[in-house]
């Protein structure tokens, strides 16, 4: 078969960017195979006339190891439409690397893809392992039809069973030999999971003696189902969002990885590596061998796309150590710090608190004093992450900072001129609906933005497309919820605090936080408190 030119590939993709054409080409590619009634219904709904020439062009592209049907589907259905049902399509480097890891573990006779999509995992596995057969679970009958078309074009349809339905309902027959569970489980947040399935997940974990939470995303449900379907000696390799490494509801998977699921390796992909393309979240490749007696788990950071092709060469942590660790990103990013008793959690020296919530910054953050409010009611405050980012590690004065309007609860004690100014301001604030919303309606009185909390010793940004930035707050500026404040639990010399801030700005990476849609990395107060830092003695001595 002659490889198609890039121009021909683009032309084929352009021709498929119409749902009736896409579905009808897929229907022709399955070549008369019996469809499920769900697929037949989709086929009938979108039926249109397509040329044999286009069908053959698409077939050739599929045989050339591309996925024109899947690529066209991703262009027709927006990321927002697909995100609601957890549809993200994986780059070829991740597919190849994950199979390379699995094949290095030994032969397998069955490949189970829990969220198959158009088949990038299961079809690659069937082509590379001619002795194996596959089981693919897919909830969307339209996508299942595209998967069947790809399988037919590649000549592996007779070795593939397609389960059109939820992976959690899948049943597997026993087989002689090893089963490989591999793929990209759908990412659906707990808000979009039905109460019945949340109960299923929670009850299943409790029955196995694991931590239980109903806040877990759908991808964690798939790990539990895989544990139920697997037998000792089977293999698993899933790529998911990485948040389970640190959040409370991820404790169940951390428990399973250290007991039962047989965790073998965790590869955390840097946010800069576009694993999911249109869904910018931190990715994590989790490898496991149910029933394994291995005492260690391998951890490694993946910083470049090409590193996905070789999932090995990380450092190892004992499962007992991993089980005791509350936050596994610590195990990933710096094994020397984890094992060095000279390092402690930041939270042992500082309490970390989010800044004050105003309820409506556009009203309560004053750019000027056009209403003539008394100066004592205008508090110099860090109101933008840029105030910290551009401070060079030290906020020495409040000049240039905007001020937050912090009015007293009782206005009757104000002098006449002061009262008139405040009254004029509050009338304007009402016109801006500052007296509405959850925050205003749950504080008494609604205008009382309490800025009386002592200023933090250190301030830190918590949301951005970069690592957090720390600064010593020698000016005593207040903060609103664009930043976190660090309040000392034990006294530290001023030079030690400055050295700590310099160390944090040098050593804390973006991988320590959670990456959300759009590529923003977020550090909650608990995550900042768990950052590993030199201990108090080293800080006091200035040696680190």
Domain boundaries, the chain: 6-75, 92-108+178-339, 351-541
Residue of 448, 451, 449, 439 whose CA lies nearest to 478 = 451
**Token representation of residue 445:** 């009185």
Under 8 Å between Cβ of 238 and 222: yes
**Token representation of residue 304:** 């470049």
**How far, in Å, CA of 470 to CA of 403, rounded?**
21
**How far, in Å, CA of 324 to CA of 524, rounded?**
21
Share of the chain above pLDDT 70, in %: 88
- Write out residues in the chain with pLDDT < 70, as ranges: 1-12, 78-90, 274-281, 333-341, 510-520, 536-544
Q: Is the dihedral of CA 163, 166, 169, 172 positive or negative?
A: positive
Pairing outcome for strands 235-241 and 283-288: antiparallel
Determine the pLDDT at residue 81.
56
Helix residue ranges, H only, 244-393? 251-258, 319-324, 329-333, 335-339, 361-364, 385-389
**Token representation of residue 73:** 């589907």
Determine the pLDDT at residue 490.
86
Determine the pLDDT at residue 340.
56
Determine the pLDDT at residue 512.
59
Residue with tokens 């004050």: 356
pLDDT digits (tens, 9 = 90+) for 249-277: 899 999 999 988 999 999 988 777 766 65
Helix 52-63 × helix 141-153 angle, to 10°: 80
Report DSSP letters for 394-453, one per residue. Answer: B----TT--EEE---S--TTS-HHHHHHHHHHHHHHHHTTTT-SHHHHTSSSTT-----S
State the SS3 of 353-400: EECECCCCHHHHEECCCCCCCCHHHEEEEECCHHHHHCCCCECCCCCC
Provide φ and ψ at 286, rounded to 5°: -110, 120
Fold match, 92-108+178-339 / 351-541 = no
Under 8 Å between Cβ of 514 and 522: yes
Neighbours of 422 (CB within 10 A): 21
Under 8 Å between Cβ of 280 and 515: yes
Q: How remote is the C-alpha of 247 from its chain's centroid? A: 11
Residue of 319, 311, 321, 221 whose CA lies nearest to 269 = 311
Give pTM, 2 decimals: 0.66
End-to-end Cα spacing for the chain: 61
The domain defined by 92-108+178-339 carries CATH number 3.40.50.12420:
yes
**How far, in Å, CA of 88 to CA of 74, rounded?**
9
Determine the pLDDT at residue 280.
54
Determine the pLDDT at residue 447.
94
Residue with tokens 């693919």: 136
| Topology of the domain comprising 351-541 | Adenine-n6-DNA-methyltransferase TaqI; Chain A, domain 2 (3.90.220)
Share of the chain above pLDDT 90, in %: 56
Instruction: List Cα–Cα distances, 415 to 236, 411, 418, 542, in angstroms.
Output: 72, 9, 5, 52
**How far, in Å, CA of 377 to CA of 358, rounded?**
14
pLDDT digits (tens, 9 = 90+) for 442-466: 888 999 999 999 999 999 998 777 7
- Give the strands of the sheet with 263-269, arranged side by side: 160-164, 133-138, 110-113, 179-183, 235-241, 283-288, 263-269, 296-302, 315-318
Which 3 state secondary structure label does DSSP give 93? helix
């Amino acid at each position: 078969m002659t490889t198609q030119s890039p121009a021909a590939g683009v032309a084929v993709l352009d021709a498929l960017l119409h749902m009736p054409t896409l579905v009808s080409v897929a229907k022709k590619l399955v070549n008369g195979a019996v469809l499920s009634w769900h697929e037949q219904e989709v086929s009938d709904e979108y039926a249109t006339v397509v040329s044999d020439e286009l069908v053959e062009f698409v077939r050739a592209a599929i045989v050339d190891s591309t996925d024109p049907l899947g690529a066209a589907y991703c262009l027709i259905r927006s990321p927002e439409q697909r995100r609601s049902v957890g549809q993200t399509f994986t780059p070829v480097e991740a597919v190849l690397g994950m199979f390379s890891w699995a094949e290095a573990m030994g032969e397998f006779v069955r490949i189970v893809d829990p969220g198959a999509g158009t088949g990038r995992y299961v079809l690659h596995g069937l082509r590379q392992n001619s002795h194996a057969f596959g089981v693919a679970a897919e909830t969307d009958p339209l996508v299942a039809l595209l998967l069947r078309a790809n399988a037919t074009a590649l000549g592996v349809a007779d070795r593939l069973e397609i389960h059109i339905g939820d992976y959690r309902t899948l049943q597997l027959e026993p087989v002689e030999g090893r089963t490989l569970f591999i793929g990209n489980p759908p990412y659906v947040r707990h808000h979009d999971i039905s109460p019945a399935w949340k109960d299923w997940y929670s009850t299943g974990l409790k029955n196995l003696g694991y931590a239980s939470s109903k806040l877990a995303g759908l991808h964690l449900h798939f790990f539990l189902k895989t544990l139920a379907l697997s037998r000792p000696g089977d293999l698993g390799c899933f790529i998911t969002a990485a948040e389970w490494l640190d959040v409370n509801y991820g404790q169940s998977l951390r428990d399973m990885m250290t007991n039962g699921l047989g965790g073998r390796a965790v590869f955390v992909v840097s946010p800069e590596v576009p694993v999911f393309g249109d869904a910018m979240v931190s990715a994590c490749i989790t490898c496991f061998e149910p029933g394994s007696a291995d005492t260690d788990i391998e951890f490694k950071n993946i910083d470049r796309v090409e590193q996905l092709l070789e999932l090995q060469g990380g450092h190892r942590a004992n499962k007992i150590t991993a089980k005791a660790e509350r936050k596994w990103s610590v195990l990933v990013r710096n094994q020397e710090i984890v094992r060095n008793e000279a390092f402690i959690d930041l939270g042992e020296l500082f309490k970390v608190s989010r800044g004050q919530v105003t309820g409506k910054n556009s009203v309560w953050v004053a750019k000027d004093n056009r209403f003539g409010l008394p100066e004592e009611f205008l508090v110099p405050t860090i109101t933008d992450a840029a105030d910290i980012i551009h401070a060079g590690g030290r906020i020495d004065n409040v000049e240039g900072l905007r001020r937050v309007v912090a009015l007293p609860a009782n206005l009757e004690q104000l002098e006449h001129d002061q009262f008139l100014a405040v009254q004029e301001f509050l009338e304007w604030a009402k016109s801006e609906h500052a007296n509405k919303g959850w925050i205003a309606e749950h504080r008494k009185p609604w205008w009382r933005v309490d800025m009386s909390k002592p200023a933090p010793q250190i301030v830190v940004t918590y949301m951005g497309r970069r690592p957090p930035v720390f600064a010593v707050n020698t000016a005593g500026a207040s903060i609103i919820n664009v930043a976190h404040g660090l309040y000392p639990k034990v006294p530290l010399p001023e030079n030690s605090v400055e050295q700590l801030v310099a160390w944090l700005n040098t050593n804390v990476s973006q991988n320590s936080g959670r990456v959300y849609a759009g590529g923003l990395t977020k550090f909650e107060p608990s995550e900042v408190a768990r950052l590993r830092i030199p201990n108090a003695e080293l800080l006091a001595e200035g040696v680190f």
